[in-house]
Amino acid sequence: MTFFLDIWNSILEFKEHDWAQNVIVLSLFSAFLWLSWRLIVTRLHRIAAKTKLPWDDAVISAISSPITLVIWLWPASTSLKIILSNHTHLSTSWIITLQIFILVWSFIWSALRLTTLVEKQVLLNPKYDETTILAVGKVIRLIFISLGILSLMQGMGLSLSGLLTFGGVGGLVVGLAAKDLLSNFFGGMMIYFDRPFKVGDWIRSPDRSLEGTVESIGWRMTIIRTFDKRPLYVPNSVFSSIVVENPSRMLNRRIKEDIGIRYKDIHSIELIVDDVKAMLIAHNDIDSNQTLIVNFNGFGPSSLDLLVYTFTKTVNWIEYHHVKQDVLIKIGNIITQHDAEIAFPTQTLKVEQLPIN
């Protein structure tokens, strides 16, 4: 990078007494480059619009603004160096560092913009997991930022070997001082790799009072929106020590009901059981490939108890309740068709008459 700077400065061998003319020439040169670049970008956008690939549009959009930044700021920094050299006694060696910073920042900016655009494009495809894509995007951004910082430090004349040595010792000290922060960071990484849940999943934990929909998974914490619409901020390290249930990944929803029939309808109990089982097998929203049980289950205190145990095809919470309602209504109709009734709690009192003396 310093080699490129030396070439640039050797090409622009300005005379000290012509500093105003030199600044004007540089400004006009920047304007010419900017107009040329705008024409090139417009032409490239037209060509990319004719292709079916979305990636060429992303690349052009990512580099257009950073290159515009370099076109204006690079000559401007050279003009600033000329002005300071002719009118002040201040050192201008820092301008080279500024030019390095402009190049590095333009590279980082282009890489981050490209990563964001590609990430948005990939998320439009429903077959890709959103949580994984967001995690990969964060890692790529971190890599580009780290490379940019190291390049900037090297351009400033700092020794990378010394920095890495210091970073190893400093990392140990920081790790001991910020162990909770690091545990949350690695907890987030484990969520991304193991994928026990993703953004949009409904999760809950029997170990903690934790239930809701996952809104975002960050490096330090996960945001869960409870069903009463309150945000719940959970440190990622918590998920390494608790049991997490993910109902969003269930294959079916269960209907389990104990229905009581009057004791006086015991002669109809077998027919009721057969008709209810036939109704469930024929029901379009009941998964008959799963466990299906309809049995007389016992003699209750005030009723003959039927066990109805089956699974719906849908896992949607609202649709499940519609299916369950339809099943219960049809069971009630079957009971009524057999001149039977659903029992309610009753007690029979036997009063003994004492003999009259």
Cβ contacts of 215 within 8 Å, gap of 6 or more: 199, 223, 224, 225, 231
> In whole angstroms, what separates CA 337 from the centre of its chain?
52
Helix (H) or strand (E) holding 41: helix 19-49
Cβ contacts of 205 within 8 Å, gap of 6 or more: 211, 242, 243, 244, 245
**pLDDT value, residue 296:** 93
> In whole angstroms, what separates CA 158 from the centre of its chain?
38
CATH class of 180-248: mainly beta
**pLDDT value, residue 14:** 46
Three-state DSSP at 204 gives strand
**pLDDT value, residue 18:** 62
**pLDDT value, residue 15:** 47
Spell 169-206 as b/e; 16+ CB within 10 A means b.
eeeeeeeeeeeeeebbbebbeebbeeeebbeebbbbee
- Architecture of the domain whose range is 250-337: 2-Layer Sandwich (3.30)
Q: Which of 25-34, 40-49, 149-158, 166-175 has the lowest mean pLDDT?
A: 166-175
pTM, entire model: 0.53
**pLDDT value, residue 63:** 80
Read off the pLDDT band of 173 (50, 70, 90): very low
Is the predicted pLDDT of residue 322 greater than 90, yes or no?
yes
Query: 180-248 and 250-337 share one CATH topology?
Result: no
More confident residue, 327 or 72: 327
Structural domain boundaries in the chain = 2-158, 180-248, 250-337
Q: Can you read off the two tokens belonging to residue 61?
A: 């959009």
Three-state DSSP at 262 gives coil
- Write out pLDDT tens, residues 100-116: 777 778 888 888 888 88
Three-state DSSP at 152 gives helix
Is the predicted pLDDT of residue 16 greater than 50, yes or no?
no
30 in Cβ contact with 76 (< 8 Å)? yes
Mean pLDDT of 226-236: 89
5 in Cβ contact with 81 (< 8 Å)? no
Cβ contacts of 101 within 8 Å, gap of 6 or more: 152, 155
Cβ neighbours around 209 below 10 Å, total: 8
**pLDDT value, residue 81:** 73
**pLDDT value, residue 131:** 67
Q: Which of 97-106, 314-323, 339-348 has the highest mean pLDDT?
A: 314-323
- Write out pLDDT tens, residues 80-104: 777 776 666 666 666 777 777 777 7
Give the residue carrying structure tokens 């008709």: 275
Please give the Cα distance from 228 to 260 (Å, whole number): 34
Q: Which of 9-23, 140-154, 244-258, 279-293 has the lowest mean pLDDT?
A: 9-23
